[in-house]
Structure 1
Amino acid sequence: MPAPGRRALPPLLAVRAFEAAARRLSFSLAAQELNVTQSAISRQVRLLEDFLGHPLFLRLTRSVALTPEGAALFRAAEQSLDILEAATRRCRGDDGRTTLKLSITQSLAVNYLLPRLPAFAALRPDIEVRVLTSTAPVDFDRDDVDAAIRLGPLPGRRYDPKRPYIPHELARSWRGIAAFPLWDEVLTPVLARSLLEGQPPLQSPADLGRFTLLSVAPRPTAWSDWFRSQGARLPRGTTTSDFGHFFMTLDAARAGRGVALVPTLFLEGLRADASLAFPFPSSTPSAGEYYLLCREDMAKRDPVAAFLGWVQDDAQRRD
């Protein structure tokens, strides 16, 4: 029995190591997170198990799983460390803000997220969103991010072959990853009205072949797929020009360099621009969607949960 007034607490360093290992269900990933060796994590977990008199993990061939005692302790440890972290911030005089490191593509950042971030900041001034841009499949074991928004087909989901193809991979590994659907991708042509001056009216998609078709290099079949979705074929002899990102093709279209094929998600606010024309409104979704990706254990915790709820509300308003 502990002496009166003395807490029967486990070794706190061991609790921290256990919480990281339980959250990641991996001793090696916990070691990377805490910047120690895997053997150090194993020693701390063994120390905690000896202190409690119960095994906390089932050691499987290539993974670990929590025992019932381990699951109960993990819930308590997670809550306790959250409380301790918040109290530490207050004692240190921190402003109480938390940081969400979000990885998204540059086009999505420029044309969708950054114009809307002030609205999220007004709703949750305690969360600072740090935007990191990347087009690579997210890798939560390597990338120092809390969440990511990516476009691509969800593994295991079947898509109509008539839909435009998306040659993107969402994540390097799906172990312990949660995916939340946000928006469909619908591609639509956009061009400067100045290009139409002195030209016959556009009556069918094939008439776009008079102009340079502005392409995104990572999506080489986007235009041919779009024409197919409209029941047409890419016109013979069409001139194309490649760019690295969708926002670049949109800028080129504004400058009158050709016709851009752009996700409708990026066009909010542009439809009132009298200098742009949207000749053939599209409704066919591509074979893939935009998803918010995060670790399963982070999905219900601030700041990821708060941002996810906000962006899902926006996605519903767009439906």
Structure 2
Amino acid sequence: MRRKLPPLNALRAFEASGRYSSFTGAAKELLVTQGAVSRHVSLLEDWLGVKLFLRTPRGIELTRKGETYIRALSSAFDQIDYATRELRDEADGSVLRLKLPPTFAMRWLVPRLARFHARHPKIAIQIVTSHEPANFRLEDIDVSVHSHPYPPEGQGHRRLFREVLTPVCSPALLQRGPALAEPGDLARHTLLSSRNRPMDWSRWLVEAGLTELDGAGHVDFDNAALAYQAAIDNLGVMIAVRALIEDDLTSGKLVAPFDLQVTTPGAYYLACALVSSRSPQLMAFEAWLMEEADAYERSLAAANRNS
């Protein structure tokens, strides 16, 4: 039977406009003008003989028939997206595309990736870094990891590990002084931090019983990885997320001068694109990542019990 389908560009314009509740938002996604999107939607409404949007002074709103139609279209587009990814992954040799926070990628995931490749040598990994979680509808991403102060809304998120804060510095800095016998001694040291985590020092200091600290100086980095390297290079004391410096503590590049560790409300979360949720390579990666995160949390709990 010959299919009777509306123009594809008109369908794409309508579906994107419905998701954004805006012709302008759809235009940015589709890389066309707002006027072109509006014309495509009007063409589709004429073709169907149905009003899909109500035009109001505040913008556009889906009609009841428009809401029904967009649910069907979104499902169909997701199926096309999934089928396309499957074919591309076969051609690429099973590629997984990850979007990760830069410091998490550099200091937690990459040092462990050799173990994943030893187990799954045929699965290729592509990594992009960003502090923003993935928008799976707009980005060609299979897996996203991001830190969040509270559990993200919606389904499909799994917690990797909690955020535990502790000050760290190089052994050389600790030896040359001034001494770091108690939290108040931090006032005689340069404090290092990441601009993306402005509350970390405050949280730790409050738990240490210090509401104010007039320090010897403060250096704020755009990227936490730079701050950790600065601590290794004796610049000062960094307020660290424990998971991201565990290897440095083990190797002796960094030391934690205080026993106090502060657990924040935040955690690192894993999310996967729903259209990719059935792919064997994604399931293998997710299982491995959760295994690594569980092993880390168990080791941290054991270390705290023994300290």
Q: TM-score range by the shorter chain?
A: 0.5 to 0.7
8 Å CA contact retained: 1:25, 1:63: no
User: Is structure 2 residue 96 aligned with structure 1 residue 103?
Assistant: no
Mapped to 1, the partners of 2:84 and 2:134 lie a distance apart of: 30
Report the identity percentage. 29
Mapped to 1, the partners of 2:284 and 2:27 lie a distance apart of: 28
Mapped to 2, the partners of 1:280 and 1:152 lie a distance apart of: 26
The aligned residue for residue 276 of structure 1 is 254
Please give the secondary structure, in 2, of the residue aligned with 1:278.
coil
Question: What amino acid does structure 2 have at the position aligned with 1:197?
Answer: Q
Mapped to 1, the partners of 2:209 and 2:230 lie a distance apart of: 27
8 Å CA contact retained: 1:26, 1:63: no
The aligned residue for residue 245 of structure 1 is 223
Q: 1:251 to 1:146 in 2, by over 3 A?
A: same
Q: 1:150 to 1:78 in 2, by over 3 A?
A: closer
Superposed, 1:156-195 pairs within 5 Å as 178-195=156-173
1:80 shift after superposition = 9.9
1:194 shift after superposition = 1.4
8 Å CA contact retained: 2:194, 2:223: yes
Q: 1:265 to 1:147 in 2, by over 3 A?
A: same
8 Å CA contact retained: 1:179, 1:294: yes
Please give the secondary structure, in 1, of the residue aligned with 2:203.
helix
8 Å CA contact retained: 2:142, 2:276: no
Mapped to 1, the partners of 2:136 and 2:75 lie a distance apart of: 22
Instruction: Name which of 106, 109, 116 aligns with 2:112.
Output: 116
Q: Which stretch of the first structure deviates more once superposed, 236-245 or 29-38? A: 29-38
8 Å CA contact retained: 2:156, 2:272: yes
TM-score by length of 1: 0.65
| Structure 2: runs of 5+ lacking an equivalent | 55-59, 298-307
Instruction: Name which of 308, 312, 318 aligns with 2:286.
Output: 308
| Structure 1: runs of 5+ lacking an equivalent | 1-6, 50-57, 158-169
Superposed, 1:1-319 pairs within 5 Å as 94=91, 96-100=93-97, 102-154=98-150, 178-199=156-177, 201-295=179-273, 297-298=274-275, 300-302=277-279, 303-319=281-297
Mapped to 1, the partners of 2:77 and 2:193 lie a distance apart of: 51
Question: What amino acid does structure 2 have at the position aligned with 1:263?
Answer: V
Structure (1/2) with the larger helix percentage = 2
Q: 1:35 to 1:260 in 2, by over 3 A?
A: closer
Q: 1:282 to 1:59 in 2, by over 3 A?
A: farther
Question: What amino acid does structure 2 have at the position aligned with 1:123?
Answer: R
The aligned residue for residue 57 of structure 2 is none
Mapped to 1, the partners of 2:232 and 2:268 lie a distance apart of: 25
Q: 1:30 to 1:301 in 2, by over 3 A?
A: farther
CA shift digits 1:181-204 (9 cap, x unpaired): 111111111111212225465322
Q: 1:42 to 1:186 in 2, by over 3 A?
A: farther
Mapped to 1, the partners of 2:243 and 2:230 lie a distance apart of: 18
Mapped to 1, the partners of 2:169 and 2:115 lie a distance apart of: 30
8 Å CA contact retained: 1:216, 1:245: yes
CA shift digits 1:135-181 (9 cap, x unpaired): 23543344442332111223xx6xxxxxxxxxxxx7xxx6x763221
Coordinate RMSD, CA, aligned: 4.6
1:245 shift after superposition = 1.6
1:298 shift after superposition = 3.4
TM-score by length of 2: 0.67
CA shift digits 1:230-268 (9 cap, x unpaired): 233342244111111221111111111110111111123
Aligned residue pair count: 283
